[in-house]
Amino acid sequence: MQNPFAPWNNPLAPVFRASMLEFIVFKRRRNFCWQVLDQSGKTVATGRERTRPAARYHAYRALFLLLATGWKATNLQPH
């Protein structure tokens, strides 16, 4: 017997996909660049730091700030 209150068991319930964010850190000459990307590969935030740990810190910080402000993928589309 299925639980009628469990949305994952209901085939008629709409499927909502969460927007995914990821960050990458890469070396450019003497600096480390970082980018926060959405699931389609669009750059949401970017920066450059002197050390890899600093780049990771700033990338994580940008990722957290985007999540804390309620970022959604539709915010990037022009009006």
Residues 13-25 have pLDDT tens digits of 555 556 788 999 9
Does residue 79 lie within any of the structural domains?
Answer: no
| Mean pLDDT of the region 46-54 | 96
Say if residue 51's pLDDT is above 60. Answer: yes
**pLDDT of 70 over the 70 cut:** yes
- Dump the DSSP string for 42-54: -EEEEEEESSHHH
Q: How many domains does the chain have?
A: 1
**Which domain covers residue 55, as residue numbers?**
19-71
In a domain, 29, yes or no: yes
For the whole model, what pTM was predicted?
Answer: 0.69
> H or E element: which one contains 15?
none
pLDDT band at 69 (very low <50, low <70, confident <90, very high): confident
